[in-house]
Homo-oligomer: A and B are copies of this chain.
């Protein structure tokens, strides 16, 4: 067993219970989610979370610029750049130049990338299902609604990657 810390002091406004502090809790849960999924992705497919997000967006939308991918999946442009580079190296995505604007390129899944996507999706959905298994549908609806609101507010509180200095 472990050293048991003494019971916490009473709840007043000068003390904060970290284990009840929402930002902390959200961060911890999000971390668990990433780690568990990341393990699946890396063990079975040899990719990480950023690569998964790119694949997921391409599987959903078909053809996107790196900029769009970053926007949609909330990733820093350097992270997108590296993830796309890695996926391309592994033959899961390909680039096609945009003649209308030669700064950007359209990224899409190769046939092999699509196959990987088709393999991952059921695993991801099963993981989610297992995680939320047995929770009352009503509660889950409320949870998701609140989560959306917190995400929306959080985006502003945190500032995006780009407008952070605005």
A residues within 8 Å of B by Cβ?
2-3, 5-6, 8-9, 13-19, 21-37, 39, 49, 53, 56-57, 59-62, 64-65, 67-68, 71-74, 118, 121-122, 124-125, 127-128, 130-132, 135, 139-140, 142-147, 149-151, 153-155, 157-159
Residues of chain B lying within 8 A (CB to CB) of residue A142: 139, 142-143, 146
Query: Mostly helix, strand, loop or mixed at chain A's interface?
Result: helix
Contact of A17 among B28, B35, B60, B153 (CB under 8 A): B60
Contact across chains for A72 and B19 when beta carbons are under 8 A apart: yes
Contact across chains for B32 and A157 when beta carbons are under 8 A apart: yes
Contact across chains for B22 and A151 when beta carbons are under 8 A apart: no
Interface centre among A17, A31, A68, A127, by most chain B C-beta atoms within 10 angstroms, is A31
Q: Who on chain B is nearest to A30 by CB?
A: B30
Q: Who on chain B is nearest to A22 by CB?
A: B128
Would you list the 3 A-B pairs with minimal beta carbon distance, nearest first?
A30-B30, A32-B154, A23-B33
Q: How far is the CA of A5 from the CA of B21 in the complex (A)?
A: 37
Contact across chains for A29 and B26 when beta carbons are under 8 A apart: yes
Q: How far is the CA of A26 from the CA of B127 in the complex (A)?
A: 14
A-B contact pairs, 11 of them (CB 8 A): A5-B61, A13-B121, A21-B56, A23-B37, A24-B73, A26-B29, A27-B31, A30-B30, A32-B154, A36-B158, A39-B159
